Amino acid sequence: MSLIINGAEYELASPPLTSLLNVLREEVGLLSPKAGCQQGGCGTCTVLIDGEPRRACLTPLGAIEGAAITTVEGLGDPRNLSPVQAAFHEHYAAQCGFCTPGMMMAATGLLARRPDATRDDVLEALAGHFCRCTGYVKIVDAVLSAAAGRVDTTRPEPEAEPGEPSVVIPGSPA
């Protein structure tokens, strides 16, 4: 089986009925899609499959041969965040962060389809994504801010103090 994940082609060894979520986390090593309910109800595992938000926990590998998969790791990098990542940062829309990757992917999919998304569009796109920390107000505001282009996607590289060890944290910049 082969997939294009965040722009890179992968030849995968997992059996065809393995969930995309397990492949992304266990075989590829991408940790932004979270294993929440594992039944498609919470939205924490949402990724873009050929540009459309889908639940990775419900998607068997064999059903998406050759597809392009995007996770949060593929949206931007620490110096150049995607508009949705920057908006979540600027609006403090992430609390514990467990639901955040799924919400970001759903929002990214929405804004690709409807760049001028309204509040109702955002609420519909995020329906079925559960967050126990924020109450959704900051999340919805962040997505609307990204839709309106009111975000700064560039981030300066922090300067290390003399003698301070360099720390590289793999994974999502958001």
Distance CA 43, CA 84 (A): 17
Distance CA 73, CA 86 (A): 14
CATH number, position 68: 3.10.20.30
Q: What are 44-75's pLDDT values in tens digits? A: 999 999 999 999 999 999 999 999 999 999 99
In a domain, 173, yes or no: no
Give residue 78's pLDDT: 83
How much is the mean pLDDT over the chain? 92
Tell me, yes or no, whether 8 and 64 share the same domain.
Answer: yes
Taking CA atoms, 102 is separated from 26, 39, 58, in Å, by: 18, 14, 14
Of 23, 48, 74, the last residue of a domain is: 74
Taking CA atoms, 59 is separated from 18, 93, 130, 150, in Å, by: 8, 27, 19, 34
Number of H helices, E strands in the chain: 5, 5
CATH number, position 87: 1.10.150.120
Tell me, yes or no, whether 57 and 106 share the same domain.
Answer: no
In a domain, 165, yes or no: no
Tell me, yes or no, whether 52 and 70 share the same domain.
Answer: yes
Instruction: For residue 117, give its domain range.
Output: 83-148
Tell me, yes or no, whether 62 and 89 share the same domain.
Answer: no
In a domain, 159, yes or no: no
Residue 133 in this model has a pLDDT that exceeds 50? yes
Q: How many domains does the chain have?
A: 2
Q: What are 7-33's pLDDT values in tens digits? A: 999 999 999 999 999 999 999 999 999
Residue 170 in this model has a pLDDT that exceeds 80? no
Tell me, yes or no, whether 134 and 109 share the same domain.
Answer: yes
Q: Give the whole-number percent of the chain exceeding pLDDT 70.
A: 94
Q: Give the whole-number percent of the chain exceeding pLDDT 90.
A: 78
Give residue 76's pLDDT: 92
Tell me, yes or no, whether 70 and 89 share the same domain.
Answer: no
Residue 141 in this model has a pLDDT that exceeds 60? yes
Confidence band, pLDDT 50/70/90 cuts, at residue 173: low
Give residue 169's pLDDT: 65
